[in-house]
Structure formats: C-alpha cells, structure tokens
Chains A and B, each alone.
Chain A
Amino acid sequence: ETGVTQTPRHLVMGMTNKKSLKCEQHLGHNAMYWYKQSAKKPLELMFVYSLEERVENNSVPSRFSPECPNSSHLFLHLHTLQPEDSALYLCASSQDGGADYEQYFGPGTRLTVT
C-alpha cells in the first residue's frame, strides 16, 4: 500500500532537538490529518487540514507545529518534546474533510523522545 507515505519510519530525538515528520499522499485527496497513537489510549486527532487550510487544532501543545504546503504534503515540526510525546504518529488522508469518507492511513512514524 503506497497511497500515503510517511518518513522517517522511526525517529529517536532528545528533548532539545528539532525534527520534522513528513507525510505525502498520492490519492488526490483534499484533506489530511495527524493522529497520535499511544499505548493504552485511543487514537488522538491532532490536526486536520482541508484544502490546505487548518480546520482543527485539537488542543495540541505548541511544541507540535503542523504545515501543509499543498494538498499532497503534510509536515509535523517537533521541538523541545517531552518523553510522554513518544508514540506512533500517523498521517491520514480522505477525499475531503467531510464526514462521509474513509480515511487512508500511512504506516506511521515511531517516535521516541529521550
């Protein structure tokens, strides 16, 4: 499945580092999402972009900064993270930002903050 790709697949970073996660979708979709998946917690929606505009910011700390330069690319910029931010970060896309379409997930970036 190569519809939604994410890089890197694994990332280890210190609390003072700055890094970025990248997501690319090849499906012609108009909406893209960032989710956080931690052990023992439901999938947490972080950000939603529809037609390159951020339409939802789900009370995410400012140390996470999204960027959507076009409808095919989505970034998550990370700085001064905490160990509790270690998780699987999943990108997803859907045909548009409405409620009727399934979401296609990328393989995720496994982030470890030391």
Chain B
Amino acid sequence: GQQVMQIPQYQHVQEGEDFTTYCNSSTTLSNIQWYKQRPGGHPVFLIQLVKSGEVKKQKRLTFQFGEAKKNSSLHITATQTTDVGTYFCAGVDRGSTLGRLYFGRGTQLTVWP
C-alpha cells in the first residue's frame, strides 16, 4: 500500500542554521503537498509540487520534487524561531481520484535562539 516516509523525525538547530526534511514514497506520486503545524495548532498548507524535478521557493523555503516523482524535500535557509513547528509532506497517489493525501510522520523542528 501507499506509504510516505519522512526523515528526520526531529531536528534541533541553532537560529541561523539551515534545515532540511526529506520525504520518500513507495509509489509514484501525482503531486506532493507540504504543510506546517505550529505547536498547539493545525496543519496549514504551504505549497504543492506537481511536475517532475520541480523547484519552488517561498522566501527562505525551497521545495523540490524528484525527477521520478517519488521523493521531495523542504530546505529552510537561515532558520528563525518563527520556523518552529512540524513539517509534513503529503503525497497524492497517481491513481487516486479522491483527494486522498498520504501524510508522512512529519519532522518536528526546534530552533534555539
């Protein structure tokens, strides 16, 4: 069955350091979405990647979708304390027509000032 693996599970960085989380799927994805959940909050949509090899940027955040559409990454440059939270990838199976997102376990980011 569809599985989306995400690593690392936890990451602690000093403010100003970079951060990367990786997402791998057991099957080819039609697209992948990234969400951020602040402590005590709910997941908030960040971005969707659709094309093979696609790269998108949002200020200090860079999102990549692999050529085979089986992996993705989120890289944050020069982290800030406002980046604290859990980052989830969510893959959509290529055969899915129901909007079913398979969520990874998330990477919990802690930023020390």
A residues in contact (CB < 8 Å) with B: 1, 31, 33, 40-43, 45, 48, 50, 55-56, 90, 94, 96-108
Q: A99-B96, A102-B33 are in contact. List 12 more A-B contacts (CB 8 A).
A: A31-B99, A41-B105, A43-B90, A43-B103, A45-B101, A48-B98, A56-B98, A98-B98, A99-B98, A100-B48, A104-B45, A105-B42
Number of A-B contacts (CB under 8 A): 63
Shortest CB-to-CB span from A11 to chain B, Å, is 16
B residues in contact (CB < 8 Å) with A: 4, 30-31, 33, 41-45, 48, 50, 88, 90, 92-93, 96-101, 103-106
Shortest CB-to-CB span from B39 to chain A, Å, is 12
What chain B residues lie within 8 Å of A31 (beta carbons)? 99
User: Of A55, A97, A99, A105, which contacts B43 at CB under 8 A?
Assistant: A105
- How distant is the Cα of A33 from the Cα of B100 in the complex, in angstroms? 10
**Is there contact, CB below 8 Å, between A107 and B99?**
no
**Is there contact, CB below 8 Å, between B104 and A102?**
no
User: Of B4, B41, B97, B104, which contacts A99 at CB under 8 A?
Assistant: B97
Shortest CB-to-CB span from A95 to chain B, Å, is 9
